Amino acid sequence: MRAIPVAAHADDSLTVAMSRFARTSFEQGTSPRVSACEKLRAAAAGERRSGNDWKRLYPRPFPFRIAPMADERIVSVEVTRVTAQTSSQDTDVLAVEEPLEIRVAWELSGEPREKNIAVTMRTPGDDVDLAIGFLFTEALLRSHEEIDSVRHWGSPNVIRVALRPGVKLDAGKLDRHFYTTSSCGVCGKTSIDALRVTACPLPPNPPVIDAAVVHRLPAVLREKQATFHSTGGIHGAAVVDLEGTLIRLREDIGRHNAVDKVIGSLFREGATPLSNTILMVSSRASFELVQKAVVAGIPVLASVGAPSSLAVDLAREFGLTLLGFVRDGRFNVYAGEARVKGEG
Please say if 200 is a catalytic residue: no
Identify each DSSP E strand in the chain by its residue range: 6-7, 66-68, 74-82, 87-95, 98-108, 111-122, 147-152, 158-163, 178-180, 209-210, 235-241, 246-252, 277-281, 300-303, 321-327, 330-335, 340-341
- The reply to whether omega before 273 is within 30° of 0 (cis) is yes
What are 235's strand-pairing partners?
Answer: 252
Strand, helix or coil at 311? helix
List CB contacts of 18: < 8 A, sequence separation 6 or more. 38, 57
Residue 104, Cβ neighbours under 10 Å: how many? 21
DSSP code for 337? G
Alpha helices (runs of H) in 147-286, residue ranges in sequence order:
171-174, 211-223, 226-231, 255-268
* Widest pairwise Cα distance in the chain: 72
Task: Measure the CA–CA gap between 158 and 240, rounded to whole angstroms.
Answer: 30
Catalytic member of 37, 184, 187, 200: 184
286: CB partners within 8 A, 6+ apart: 185, 255, 256, 307, 308, 310, 311
Checking DSSP bridges between strand 277-281 and strand 74-82, what pairing results, if any?
Answer: unpaired
3-state secondary structure of 250: strand
Beta bridge partners of 340: 209
CA dist 332 and 324 (Å) reads 5
Q: Dihedrals φ, ψ of 284, to 5°?
A: -75, 165
Q: Please list the active-site residues.
A: 184
